[in-house]
Amino acid sequence: MSEEANEISASDVSAHRPDSFRQLPAAERRIQTHLLGRVFDDTTTSYKLFWFKALLETLKLRWSSKPGVVYEPILVSDLVLEMVVAAWHPVCFFRLSLGATDKLQNACETLQKRLDLAPNTKGQQVRNVIAATPEILEHLWNLATYVPALFLSPWFSGEMYGIGAGTARVKRAIQLARERRARQEAPPYWLDGKGRNVSLRIDRRWGDFLYENLGMLEAFSDRHLAHYLQAKNPNSPGIIHKLREPPSPQLLRARRFWKSVREVFILRGISTFFQDYFKAERLDADFSIDHFLPWSFVAHDQLWNLAPVFLSTNSRKSDRLPDPDLYLPRLAKLHWHALRTINDRPRFYDDYISCFKQPSVALLEGNEERMLNLYRTVVIPQIELARNQGFEVGWRLKMA
């Protein structure tokens, strides 16, 4: 699968409906879609959530490349691989917990350590690495045993009543799915094969429904995953932005802001104020933008958390949190001077006003010490939250 195929959106898929899909009369296309709303009623673990995301992603990739193959068998082992890909960035990049004993989280962390993969490794590269080292998924085979069958429980709630958790429940769900695969009340798929060769077969009417409603179903899946992750990570900000591979940074607004600040500093003869606050060295027009609190923690690009630095500084800092005793006074001073230079452009004040809960007049009338106190009030608690989430704190730039 190519990188481009992996980035196909639901709207792209929907815009190119393949002719190979069977057109059924409305009466024959009726399926029990209301039961899909119950698949996440019991989410004490993350497995069902990532199973459904893996299924949707696999179908989307098939539809975007060869629409006709959507009804060919899908190996459950391939879907387990896709579950790890789906969980990679929430676990490794955003450092979210899926649960204290979650095997999917352990698989992501083990893969990262064993193969020395960067936390922000692209999903397609993660997929390729796992495909080349399938033994990494060996201890996830219990998921392949339980999750595919038990995901279908809402379609058999009556027949499954009284059957306790375990293999008996799995066997009954597999049996019922196979028995009903040709009926109007068929579940979305049934399982075929044994052992490591077990595969999933999509019901054609359900395939139509999933195809036509892909965007809505992805949003449905994201909503439930966000609720689950928020419960497991109550102190992590921006959970809704941490469900998948992060987009490429878009810092055009921040660059316009700091470019304007630099120009005014030069006009006022204080160009030395425009400096890399880690190195305390003046910057020229070719500067990088750094998040003081890393983006992988805050998941936003608000101006109060951004500052110009040398590209080399940004690369060395990565997603570490700087030592606040050393660097927070420098950051606050830089922003205090910056705000006083662009007081004729009020649109830049919005981020500061929402963060510090102060009107623009109060921000301008204060002094450097007051600005530092505002920063300490907001940033210090977030540093502690990030520390508890596993981020490295107290970073200092080692001068050459």
How do residues 274-306 score in pLDDT, each as one tens digit?
999 999 999 999 999 999 999 999 999 999 999
Q: How far apart are CA 220 and CA 222, in angstroms?
A: 6
pLDDT tens by residue, 213-267 = 999 999 999 999 999 999 999 999 999 999 999 888 789 999 999 999 999 999 9
**Burial letters 259-277, b for 16+ CB under 10 A, else e:** ebbbebbeeeeebebbbbb
The model's confidence at residue 1, banded by pLDDT at 50, 70 and 90, is very low
Is the pTM value of this prediction over 0.75? yes
Structure tokens, 261: 């600040």
Per-residue pLDDT tens digits for 334-388: 999 999 888 778 788 999 999 999 998 888 888 999 999 999 999 999 999 999 9
* pLDDT tier for residue 161 given thresholds of 50, 70 and 90: confident
Residue 384: half-sphere exposure toward Cβ, Cα within 13 Å? 5
Distance CA 143, CA 76 (A): 10
Give CA separation, 208 vs 20, 75, 149, 177, 202, in Å. 11, 20, 21, 18, 10
Residue 232 CA to residue 206 CA, distance in Å, equals: 32
How many of the other CB atoms lie within 10 Å of CB of 315? 10
d(CA 45, CA 99): 7
Q: Are strands 199-202 and 189-192 parallel, antiparallel or unpaired?
A: antiparallel
Q: How many helices (H) and strands (E) does the chain have?
A: 17, 9
Instruction: With beta carbons less than 8 A apart as the criterion, state whether 389 and 297 touch.
Output: yes
CA-based R_g, the chain, Å: 26
Q: How far is CA 337 from CA 290, 324, 371, in A?
A: 18, 19, 10
- Give the helix/strand (H/E) hosting 147: helix 141-150
Show the tokens assigned to 222: 């994201």
Helices (H), 15-75: 47-65
